Structure 1
């Protein structure tokens, strides 16, 4: 299912001419932290409920135009684009515009997250690994090749952290023995940033550490 099927056109937007009191009532009737704002049928942006707390109840929103934030997603964008907008603006309601910047409706964060949860990366069984390597030595093709040589199945991979020195990728695979994959990546100079009960390397380090501590206590 595509996220466009979740566009809600029934939400009643607020107007810049509405009083702060009326807008607060609209927020109280909803579960959203932002609501879209219109002026004479034209989308102007969204307002955050927290920005209204100290305002005079009888004032109108038009007196506080600086509180209207302009953010939205266009109807041709991907699910990941939407998640980025939700996170970037700390909102749980995202206005949707068409390519001509006409208002289409809104999408709820919970609907997009539910849809993302149905993707193979999230829904499929498998092991999630976080791999770290020097940026100049990292290549997606190498990660894919190493996994495929071990007859493991990819569910997905994305860059979860990026700096000038290192690249950190989160990888999900379907495989019977994750330890074999972990050791293979270590041989190719990858660090394993995630924890795995089946990781014999980590267990060996713990045993050596315990032995050293006992030796130093003698």
Structure 2
């Protein structure tokens, strides 16, 4: 069992407040959303999860109920045995701060909040351990995680974590966390392998040399 699986969300599941039903009035939903900053909230009918209602779409109404909105409910959920990393992935995918939790029989269990799951990520070596943080960029077809690991480790550092932090114009930006070492040597090695360095570093000898040359040229032109 890996690290991601070991820390599941089971102890973070909440049962209160209770989910909405089709009979819940929009007026009550609106009042609830004003008191709680939830992006969505589950709707359960006869113990069956019907979907989640987006609170931003709710307006006060004395006549409408959640059942009038049933065809627009969103199927946002995770399983009760989901790991924290999978759950964070779902939060990002659905752009929400609350996820319904179902068991293996698709029965409603409760819900989890983004603010309760995020601390799991903060406890990882990627966030806690001191080290070097570098952001590099390369065409998404050309970068390689194994190559990135090799570059870091051949410069006598340990890789603490790596993930694709942005995709833009067919280029992938990769954020890398490594144990302390000679960051200048790592940066220059990445350049030799065709990676662009996106993050700025005071120890970058290449950029420092360019700055010195620029300053010298400005001085020469001003003579």
Same-fold call, TM cutoff 0.5: yes
Corresponding position of 2:34? 28
What root-mean-square deviation, in Å, do the aligned CA atoms of Structure 1 and Structure 2 show? 2.2
Q: How many residues matched?
A: 217
TM-score w.r.t. structure 2 length? Answer: 0.86
SS of the equivalent of 1:15 reads coil
Indicate which of 206, 213, 216 corresponds to 1:208: 213
Q: Which runs of 5+ in 2 are unaligned?
A: 1-6
Q: 1:2 aligns with which of 2, 5, 8?
A: 8
1:54-133 equivalences in 2 (<5 Å): 55-133=60-138
Q: Is the 8 A contact 1:3 1:115 kept in 2?
A: no
For residue 27 of structure 2, give the secondary structure of its aligned residue in structure 1: helix
Task: Give the C-alpha shift of residue 164 in structure 1.
Answer: 7.6
TM-superposed CA distance for 1:31, in Å, is 3.0
Q: Compute the displacement of 1:82 (Å).
A: 1.8
Deviations 1:60-88 (A, max 9, x none): 12122234222111234333332232223
- Taking structure 1 as the reference length, the TM-score comes to 0.88
Note the alpha carbon deviations across 1:11-44, whole angstroms, 9 max, x for none: 3111110111122233234332211111122111
- Write the deviation string for residues 141-193 of structure 1: whole angstroms up to 9, x where unpaired: 22212211221121101122346854332110012321121112222222111
What 5-or-longer segments of structure 1 have no aligned partner? Answer: none
- Which shows bigger deviation, 162-171 or 3-12? 162-171
**1:127–1:173 CA contact under 8 A, matched in 2:** yes
Secondary structure of the residue that 2:57 maps to in structure 1? helix
Q: CA deviation at 1:101?
A: 1.5
Q: CA deviation at 1:135?
A: 4.2
Paired residues of 1:126 and 1:172 also in contact (CA < 8 A):
yes
2:187 to 179, 182, 186: 182
Any conservation in 2 of the 1:159–1:169 contact (CA below 8 Å)?
yes
Deviation at 1:100, TM superposition (A): 2.1
Q: Which runs of 4+ in 1 moved over 3 A?
A: 134-137, 161-167, 213-218
1-side partners of 2:141 and 2:70: how far apart? 47
Distance change in 2, residues 1:121/1:35 (3 Å): same
